Copies of this chain bind each other. A is one copy, B any other.
C-alpha cells in the first residue's frame, strides 16, 4: 500500500447578523474532541435578535459540553433536542448542525437538524452532491433525531454548511441564491491557499450582496476543506476577526 499523502484540515466560519438587529440569533462554537480532531456546532434560534440568541446559546452550550465529554455526535444532537424541548415546553425551535472531524475514525461526521441542505464536493473529479434528506429542527416534536452522514477524510473534500439566511438571500428582491452552483464555480476557480476561508467569505459576501447590503436574516456559513498539505510545519493555527462597535 502506498503511503497516504499528508493532509491539511481547513475550517472557516463567516457570520453576519440580520440588518438593523444588534445581535445575531445564530451561534457557532468549536471544541477540541477528547479523542482528537474537533467539532463545530451551528445553531439558528427561532426568530431573531436577543431571544433567538438566548435559544441558540442554550442549545450550542449543551451540545458543546457533551461533545467535550466525548459523547458521540448523534447522542449530543438528541440530547440538545430533549433539553430545548424540556426547557421551553416544545414551544421554541432551532436548527442544529454538528460537524466533526474525527481523527479516531478518520471521518467527517455531519449531523443535520435543519431543512438547509449541506453541499459536499469530493474526489479528483470534484463531484458535487447535496445532503438533503428531510430533516426537522429540534425543540418541538417528540423524539426528533438528526440525519447523519459520515465521509472519509480524503484529499479535495469540501463541505459547506449554512443557516437559512443564506438560502433566502435575495428573495425579497426576486433573486435566488444558487448555492451549489456558486460553490462549484468558486472551487473551480483556482486559489490553492486557504480554500475554506475564501469559500466561506465569498458565499457570505454574495448573500449580503443579494440582500442589497441589508441581510434579511442572520447568515452563518461553515466550510470544511481537506486538502493536500502545503506547508511542512506541524503548526496548528486559529484566527478570529470581528468588528467592535463604538
A residues near B (Cβ < 8 Å) are: 3-17, 27-32, 34, 38, 57, 61, 64-65, 68-69, 103, 153, 194, 196-197, 200-201, 204-205, 208, 226, 229, 231, 233-246
Contact = CB atoms under 8 A, between A and B. Distances in A.
B57 A34 contact: yes
Contacts of A4: 246
Contact of A196 (B27, B233, B239): B239
Most chain B CB inside 10 Å of its own CB: which residue of A28, A196, A239, A246: A239
A108 to B, nearest CB: 11
A178 B244 CA distance: 32
Contacts of A196: 239
B244 A13 contact: no
B10 A238 contact: no
A11 B240 contact: yes
A154 to B, nearest CB: 10
B57 A241 contact: no
A153 B242 CA distance: 14
List of 6 A-B pairs having minimum Cβ-Cβ separation, nearest first: A236-B242, A4-B246, A13-B238, A11-B240, A7-B244, A15-B236
B28 A238 contact: yes
A238 B16 contact: no
Nearest to A220: B236
B38 A32 contact: no
A241 B225 CA distance: 10
Contacts of A12: 237-240
B13 A237 contact: yes
Nearest to A3: B246
B237 A9 contact: no
B239 A6 contact: no
Contacts of A197: 237, 239
